[in-house]
């Protein structure tokens, strides 16, 4: 019996990517009702191109549910460097979910968690019996790579992908996908606004992980580090431990989705009706 192939879609990553690819030139595709639709249109194009490429049996879209998550409770400055979303994008947050609903794709999210956490939770749930593909532009999700879990990274344009499996990641990085959490804990993340260990970059962090295996082992053996490295860790001991919590995708969010409700079998007439309502063009050829 052929395994299910489940496509978990990082909705926020696709939506933001689609928005900024056209917004930089001021092209917002405002329809006759005055509603900008560029992000939703691009999202749908990314999604349909991916489903045509990977032929999933099931599709689920995962979303952030507000900007405040448990990570903000752990660290007040988490993502504090990010401004409010552009006004042209705001009405498209709800609109995109209307479109996925019209495509019979379940929308999944949990207040207090990020889309990544929902994806990790669902990937763990399905990977025992299904092949899981995660569609995203966010390399942080590479930590979820596992047997039966693959990550499809969007590249520039449409239909261009970098497909990762766990073995490829280990061959390239020399560490396991799970160790990526501790790599990020040491390096920090400027996008998410946490510093890790100041002065420790990817090259040094990778070297230490390969030598010691885990962050705990590194911290237990600070005397074996160079004097400069030891000083950096000692100055940021609390932060590196906190950064590990911030970097790890939480795979126990309170989300679930019965796969019977996620079978990818669009009603073309219903979808085309929604596209016409939004005044979308050039999508009928890929649906």
- Are 110 and 24 part of one and the same domain? yes
CATH number of domain containing 223:
1.10.150.20
Is the pLDDT at 285 greater than 80? The verdict is no
Residue 268: predicted pLDDT: 92
- Are 214 and 265 part of one and the same domain? no
How many domains are there within the chain?
2
The pLDDT tens digits for 207-218 are 999 999 999 999
Domain annotation covers residue 77: yes
Domain residue limits at 211: 172-247
What percent of the chain has a predicted confidence (pLDDT) above 70? 99
DSSP string, 15-73: HHHHHHHHHTTT---B-TTS-B-HHHHHHHHHHHHHHHHH--SEEEEE---SS-BHHHH
- Are 209 and 156 part of one and the same domain? no
| CA pair distance 140, 88, nearest whole angstrom | 27
Residue 180: predicted pLDDT: 97
Is the pLDDT at 130 greater than 80? The verdict is yes
Domain annotation covers residue 284: no
Domain annotation covers residue 274: yes
Provide the mean pLDDT of the chain: 95
The pLDDT tens digits for 138-177 are 999 999 999 999 999 999 999 999 999 999 999 999 999 9
Reported confidence tier of residue 26, pLDDT bands at 50, 70, 90: confident
Domain annotation covers residue 204: yes
Domain annotation covers residue 286: no
Question: Of 261, 253, 285, 219, whose CA–CA distance to 107 is shortest?
Answer: 261
Residue 134: predicted pLDDT: 98
- Are 21 and 38 part of one and the same domain? yes
Domain annotation covers residue 11: yes
Is the pLDDT at 282 greater than 90? The verdict is no
- Are 73 and 192 part of one and the same domain? no
The pLDDT tens digits for 33-87 are 999 999 999 999 999 999 999 999 999 999 999 889 999 999 999 999 998 899 9
- Are 109 and 153 part of one and the same domain? yes
SS3 call for 110: coil
Strands 107-108 and 161-164: unpaired
| CA pair distance 202, 207, nearest whole angstrom | 8
- Are 237 and 256 part of one and the same domain? no
The pLDDT tens digits for 162-172 are 999 999 999 99
Sequence-ordered list of residues with C-beta below 8 angstroms from that of 197, at least 6 positions apart, any chain? 186, 187, 188, 205, 232, 233, 235, 236, 239, 240, 243
- Are 143 and 66 part of one and the same domain? yes
Domain annotation covers residue 72: yes
- Are 90 and 15 part of one and the same domain? yes
Residue 24: predicted pLDDT: 78
Tokens 């763990």 locate to 124
Domain annotation covers residue 256: yes
Sequence-ordered list of residues with C-beta below 8 angstroms from that of 26, at least 6 positions apart, any chain? none
pTM: 0.95
CATH number of domain containing 130:
3.40.50.1010
Residue 1: predicted pLDDT: 65
Residue 103: predicted pLDDT: 97
What percent of the chain has a predicted confidence (pLDDT) above 90? 92
- Are 60 and 137 part of one and the same domain? yes
- Are 119 and 203 part of one and the same domain? no
**Tokens at residue 272, please?**
């085309």
- Dihedral Cα 258, 264, 267, 270, nearest 10 deg: 70
Mean pLDDT of all residues in 256-273: 95
Contact indicator for 277, 39 with CB cutoff of 8 Å: no
- Are 14 and 81 part of one and the same domain? yes
Is the pLDDT at 286 greater than 90? The verdict is no
Mean pLDDT of all residues in 223-252: 97
Contact indicator for 239, 233 with CB cutoff of 8 Å: no
């Amino acid at each position: 019996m052929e395994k299910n192939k489940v496509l978990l879609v990082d909705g926020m990553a696709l939506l933001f990517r689609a928005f900024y690819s056209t917004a930089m030139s001021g092209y917002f595709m405002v329809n006759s009702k005055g509603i900008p639709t560029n992000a939703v249109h691009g999202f749908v194009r990314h999604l349909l191109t991916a489903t045509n490429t990977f032929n999933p049996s099931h599709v689920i879209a995962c979303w952030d549910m507000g900007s405040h998550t448990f990570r903000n409770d752990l660290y007040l400055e988490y993502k504090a460097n990010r401004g409010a979303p552009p006004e042209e994008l705001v009405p498209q947050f709800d609109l995109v979910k209307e479109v996925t609903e019209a495509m019979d794709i379940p929308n999944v999210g949990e207040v207090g968690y990020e889309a990544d956490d929902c994806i990790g939770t669902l990937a763990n749930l399905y990977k025992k019996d299904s092949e899981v593909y995660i569609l995203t532009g966010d390399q942080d999700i590479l930590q979820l790579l596992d047997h039966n879990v693959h990550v499809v990274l969007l590249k520039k344009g449409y239909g261009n992908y970098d497909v990762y499996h766990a073995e490829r990641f280990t061959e390239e990085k020399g560490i396991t996908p799970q160790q990526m959490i501790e790599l990020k804990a040491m390096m920090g993340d400027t996008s998410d606004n946490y510093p890790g260990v100041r002065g420790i970059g990817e090259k040094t962090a990778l070297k230490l992980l390969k030598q010691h295996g885990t962050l705990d082992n590194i911290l237990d053996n600070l005397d074996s580090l160079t004097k400069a490295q030891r000083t950096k860790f000692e100055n940021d001991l609390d932060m590196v431990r906190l950064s590990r919590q911030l970097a790890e995708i939480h795979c126990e969010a309170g989300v679930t989705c019965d796969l019977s409700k996620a079978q990818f079998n669009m009603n073309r007439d219903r979808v085309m009706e929604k596209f016409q309502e939004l005044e979308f063009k050039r999508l009928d050829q890929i649906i």
